């Protein structure tokens, strides 16, 4: 993929979305219902967007469309569903939506994902603010040509913005929503991890594990888009509960936490968009 190859994507989206987005929402498995909260919504299926990967099969919990509009006064574009490396896409394919939406003007990104809990004490339904990640997918969307506006060697010392996390913790306290912070391990999938792999991840410092998020955050940081990540702990990782893992369980718990997650996102969005704009003005 070259920088010219995303130009038709950007042109198409600029024509469909009449207002420039301030923030990108990336919604994970079972969490796409957040997009239903967007006002004055314009919906565009992924398959209608030039340059977007063409999905050969639908994944439960991923509607596969962009939803643009307002949430709490903030102009947003939500990815109701996302692309995964385990579907066979290249890292640059997975990163394409972030590159395109950043080109429209977005400078903040809020990502949600479904994750398996590794840290002792986690229970399904817990919410974890991602403080850092382990890229155990061993792939990187920045390999190859450097796109205009992207850093060749981006600093990843603060991939999930500390100010955004403080804002999210403040909102959570105000709303009495329990949250914690932790490290997310991104693995390739599509298999769930073995008990031995889960023990290894715990020793490496991971608190939760999933199959997404990391590629999008890497390219966002190269562009200068600040990120807030929220993991919904939908199940305990293999070997910790004595139960077999299933995608149905992921979907069920995602539905159960919807109300809390919507409240948290609604509360934090107006705080992270001005924070990002203010930092740009100061620079």
Query: What is the length of the chain?
Result: 283
Tell me, yes or no, if 231 is annotated catalytic.
Answer: no
Tell me, yes or no, if 140 is annotated catalytic.
Answer: no
Of the residues 22, 35, 37, 62, only one is catalytic, namely 62
Tell me, yes or no, if 109 is annotated catalytic.
Answer: no
Of the residues 7, 72, 87, 252, only one is catalytic, namely 87
Tell me, yes or no, if 72 is annotated catalytic.
Answer: no
Of the residues 115, 128, 185, 211, only one is catalytic, namely 211
Tell me, yes or no, if 114 is annotated catalytic.
Answer: yes
Of the residues 78, 114, 220, 273, only one is catalytic, namely 114
Tell me, yes or no, if 22 is annotated catalytic.
Answer: no
Question: What is the distance between the alpha carbons of residues 252 and 212, in angstroms, rounded to a whole number?
Answer: 19
245 contacts: CB under 8 Å, gap ≥ 6: 116, 192, 235, 238
Of the residues 37, 71, 75, 84, only one is catalytic, namely 84
Of the residues 92, 113, 212, 276, only one is catalytic, namely 212
Tell me, yes or no, if 3 is annotated catalytic.
Answer: no
Long-range pairs for 46-49: beta carbons < 8 A, 24 or more residues apart: 46/81, 49/9, 49/12, 49/13
Of the residues 3, 72, 86, 263, only one is catalytic, namely 86
Of the residues 103, 113, 231, 235, only one is catalytic, namely 235
Tell me, yes or no, if 247 is annotated catalytic.
Answer: yes
Which residues are tagged catalytic?
Answer: 29, 62, 84, 86-87, 114, 211-212, 235, 247
């Amino acid at each position: 993929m070259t920088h010219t190859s995303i130009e038709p994507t950007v042109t198409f989206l600029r024509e469909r979305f009449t207002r420039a987005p301030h923030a990108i929402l990336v919604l994970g498995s079972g969490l796409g219902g957040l997009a239903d909260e967007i006002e004055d919504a314009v919906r565009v299926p992924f398959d209608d967007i030039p340059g977007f990967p063409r999905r050969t099969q639908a994944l439960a919990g991923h509607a596969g469309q962009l939803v643009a509009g307002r949430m709490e006064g903030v102009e947003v574009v939500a990815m109701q569903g996302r692309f995964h490396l385990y579907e066979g896409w290249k890292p640059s394919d997975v990163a394409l939506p972030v590159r395109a939406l950043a080109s429209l003007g977005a400078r903040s990104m809020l990502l949600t994902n479904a994750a398996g809990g590794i840290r002792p004490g986690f229970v399904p339904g817990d919410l974890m603010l991602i403080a850092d990640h382990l890229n155990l997918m061993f792939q990187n969307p920045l390999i190859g040509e450097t796109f205009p506006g992207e850093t060749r060697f981006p600093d990843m010392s603060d991939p999930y913005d500390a100010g955004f996390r403080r804002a999210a913790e403040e909102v959570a306290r105000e709303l009495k929503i329990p949250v914690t912070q932790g490290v997310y391990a991104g693995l390739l999938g599509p298999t769930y991890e073995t008990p031995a792999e889960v023990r290894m991840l715990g020793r490496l410092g991971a608190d939760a594990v999933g199959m997404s998020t990391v590629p999008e955050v890497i390219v966002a940081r190269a562009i200068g888009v600040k990120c807030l990540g929220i993991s919904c702990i939908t199940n305990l990782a293999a070997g910790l509960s004595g139960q077999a893992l299933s995608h149905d369980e992921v979907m069920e718990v995602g539905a159960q936490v919807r109300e809390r997650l919507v409240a948290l996102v609604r509360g934090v969005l107006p705080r992270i968009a001005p924070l990002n704009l203010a930092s740009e003005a100061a620079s």
